[in-house]
């Protein structure tokens, strides 16, 4: 068969059906994705290393196993990309930073091992913000491969720090990808690129072999076209790992039949400071959700300093993780100007402040868990704005941002709160805003409630078609 956009933008489940019916072989599929990734990936700042030789060997093995009647599961023979902070044996793992671009490990990260065991085919290592943003970057141009660009409009950012994972998956360069999140780095690129994604419960997915930025916050998760895809990928990588003592739990995904009615809390002031198009998409989403859930409006989110607490913990743990690199002056070789000195600020974090933040996590987590226990999910926009343009510092927007009327409440700090508490979130695309850029819907639940969140997201996607839209990879202005 001819491999075109209908295949490149197909879901994981559909790709598996094509492989299962022998409409296409894994070698054919992999070759097509490799060529597309090699051609388009650099234009989006999405590709670090193309793994052609490894990918074709894995694809050939997948075809041979299928021919022999051995099917490893729904990912068998499907090409994917991995954020370049996951160790891959004999292949450079750059952490997005020029000083580490030739770094090679002699082992695979557990997530890579598990995907290989599931029969998935690694076609490339995908770009990321240098050191996962741990040095405090302040500009989209913060990777030695350049800024990640949204395939919906390449003048705009694909989001950080899993910038390449977001751009490559949205552009149909890979079947799915793996990203990481410490304080928004899965949800943000998924939101800006119009993808479905899961930030899993802390400890559900092993981080062995992943660059450590923040030991008590880091998580790995899938970025995909559909919520159903996310369930299939998460099932392959989740579960306890003796190489990562923080891991626990298991996850199994079976696409649920329609019927169950959910209970969802709609957060108060969720769109108070959101862009008008984000607000409009969210309100339209609530109408869809009313068809499958009972909604309770104006739910109060626990009022704690979520953002400052996460920032302090990232500074302290990131400074410890990269202390030798910072003290040796290695940060002077980083791309983003603020990254060249941000690490020194991290080293100045007081131990007493870090300990206070860690102590405060106990009541903060308890308050959020008590709220989440009342619902199957809380719902709000994933981000209050669409993808910003490339080429400016985050604290210096290119045009003045209109100030909301005095007294306008702040939106709930759901992304830092979810990361601080270690609870899962699922996001899905729910519309489009200015410049043809996607908007996104976020569902948050109690620890290890991924199956419920994905069930809600899957039902939402059965009633909408936002996840089926394809970017034309519009070039920005020269």
* pLDDT tens-digit readout, 99-143: 999 999 999 999 999 999 999 999 999 999 999 999 999 999 999
Task: Name the 3-class secondary structure at 171.
Answer: coil
Q: What pLDDT band is residue 408 in, cutting at 50, 70 and 90?
A: confident
Could you list the beta-strand ranges (E) of 345-424: 377-381
More confident: 174 or 406: 174
Band of residue 476 on the pLDDT scale cut at 50, 70, 90: very low
Return the SS3 of 339. Answer: helix
Report the C-alpha gap between 334 and 162 in whole angstroms. 17
Q: Check residues 48 and 249 and name the one with the higher pLDDT.
A: 48
Per the structure block, which two tokens stand in for 23? Answer: 């409409």
pLDDT: which is higher, 446 or 475: 446
Report the alpha-carbon distance of residue 443 to residue 424 in Å, rounded: 9
Q: Quote the pLDDT of residue 353.
A: 97
- Tell me: pLDDT of 157 over 90: yes
Q: How far apart are CA 203 and CA 205, in angstroms?
A: 6
Q: How many residues does the chain have?
A: 478
Q: What is the pLDDT of residues 357-367, one digit of tens each?
A: 999 999 999 99
pLDDT-above-70 percentage for the chain: 98
Give catalytic residue positions: 83, 161, 185
Measuring CA to CA, which residue among 34, 30, 1 is closest to residue 119? Answer: 30
Q: How confident is the model at residue 259 (pLDDT cuts 50, 70, 90)?
A: confident
Mean pLDDT of the chain: 96
* Whole-number pLDDT of residue 400: 61
89 beta partners: 105
pLDDT number for residue 478 = 36
Q: Which residues contact 450 (CB under 8 A, 6 or more apart)?
A: 198, 200, 201, 204, 231, 234, 251, 424, 426
Q: Is the pLDDT of residue 477 over 70?
A: no
Gap between the Cα atoms of 429 and 206, Å rounded: 27
Whether residue 345 is predicted with pLDDT greater than 80 in this model: the reply is yes
* Structure tokens given for 327: 């003290």
CA–CA separation, 303 and 367 (whole Å) = 9
Contact 136, 101 (CB under 8 A): no
Q: Are 164 and 193 in contact (CB under 8 A)?
A: no
Helix axes 12-20, 52-67, angle to 10 degrees: 50
Distance between CA atoms of 422 and 357, rounded to whole angstroms? Answer: 15
> In b/e form, how buried is each residue of 345-375, taking b as 16+ CB within 10 angstroms?
ebeebeeeebeebeebbeebbebbeebbeeb
Query: Strand order in 79-83's β-sheet?
Result: 47-50, 121-126, 79-83, 177-181, 219-224, 196-199, 425-432, 438-444, 377-381, 262-267, 293-299
Residue 289: closest CA among 430, 447, 448, 439: 430
Q: What are phi and psi of 441, to 5 degrees?
A: -110, 135
Closest CA to 416 of 200, 201, 183: 183
Q: Which residue(s) pair with 429 in the sheet?
A: 440
Three-class SS state of 250: coil
User: pLDDT at position 257, please?
Assistant: 82
DSSP, residue by residue, 138-169 = -SS--STT---EETTEEEEE--SSSHHHHHHH
- All structural domains of the chain, each given as residue ranges with its CATH number in brackets, are 5-252+453-468 (3.90.1300.10)
Give the alpha-carbon dihedral of 440, 443, 444, 447, to 10 degrees: -120
Q: How far apart are CA 313 and CA 318, in angstroms?
A: 8
Closest CA to 164 of 102, 81, 225: 81
Integer Cα distance of 65 and 82 in angstroms: 23
What's this model's pTM, rounded to 2 decimal places? 0.97
């Amino acid at each position: 068969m001819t491999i075109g956009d209908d295949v490149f933008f197909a879901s994981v489940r559909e790709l598996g059906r094509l492989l299962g019916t022998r409409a296409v072989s894994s070698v054919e599929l992999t070759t097509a994705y490799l060529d597309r990734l090699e051609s388009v990936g650099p234009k989006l700042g999405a590709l670090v290393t193309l793994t052609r030789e490894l990918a074709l060997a894995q694809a050939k093995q997948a075809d041979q196993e299928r021919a022999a009647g051995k099917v490893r599961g729904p990912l068998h023979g499907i090409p994917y990309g991995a954020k370049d902070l996951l160790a891959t044996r004999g292949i450079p793992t750059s952490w997005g930073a020029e000083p580490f671009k030739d770094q090679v490990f002699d082992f695979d990260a557990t997530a890579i091992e598990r995907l290989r065991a599931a029969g998935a085919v690694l076609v490339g290592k995908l770009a990321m913000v240098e050191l996962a943003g741990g040095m405090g970057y302040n500009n989209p141009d913060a990777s030695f491969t350049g800024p990640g660009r949204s395939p919906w409009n390449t003048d705009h950012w694909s989001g950080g720090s899993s910038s390449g994972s977001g751009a490559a998956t949205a552009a149909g360069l890979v079947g799915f990808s793996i990203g990481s999140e410490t304080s928004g780095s899965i949800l943000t690129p998924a939101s800006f690129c119009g993808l479905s994604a899961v930030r899993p419960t802390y400890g559900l997915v092993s981080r062995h072999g992943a660059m450590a930025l923040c030991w008590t916050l880091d998580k790995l998760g899938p970025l995909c076209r559909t919520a159903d895809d996310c369930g299939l990928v998460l099932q392959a990588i989740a579960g306890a790992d003796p190489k990562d003592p923080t891991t626990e739990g298991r996850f199994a995904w079976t696409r649920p039949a329609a019927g169950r009615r959910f209970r969802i809390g709609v957060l108060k002031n969720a769109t108070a400071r959101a862009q008008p198009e984000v607000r409009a998409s969210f309100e339209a989403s609530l109408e869809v959700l009313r068809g499958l859930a009972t909604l309770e409006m104006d739910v109060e989110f626990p009022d704690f300093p979520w953002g400052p607490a996460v920032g302090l913990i990232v500074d302290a743990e990131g400074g410890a993780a990269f202390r030798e690199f910072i003290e040796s002056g290695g940060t002077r070789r980083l791309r983003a100007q603020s990254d060249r000195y941000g690490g020194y600020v991290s080293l100045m974090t007081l131990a007493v402040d870090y300990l206070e933040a860690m102590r405060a996590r106990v009541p903060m987590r308890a308050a959020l868990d008590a709220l989440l226990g009342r619902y199957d999910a809380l719902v709000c926009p994933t981000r209050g704005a669409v993808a910003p343009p490339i080429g400016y510092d985050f604290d210096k927007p290119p045009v003045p941002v209109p100030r909301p009327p005095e007294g306008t409440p702040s939106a709930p700090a759901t992304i830092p709160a979810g990361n601080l508490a270690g609870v899962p979130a699922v996001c899905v695309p729910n519309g489009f805003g200015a410049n043809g850029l996607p908007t996104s819907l976020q569902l948050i639940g109690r620890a290890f409630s991924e199956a419920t969140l994905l069930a809600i997201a899957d039902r939402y996607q059965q009633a909408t078609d936002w996840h089926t839209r394809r970017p034309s990879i519009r070039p920005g202005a020269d």
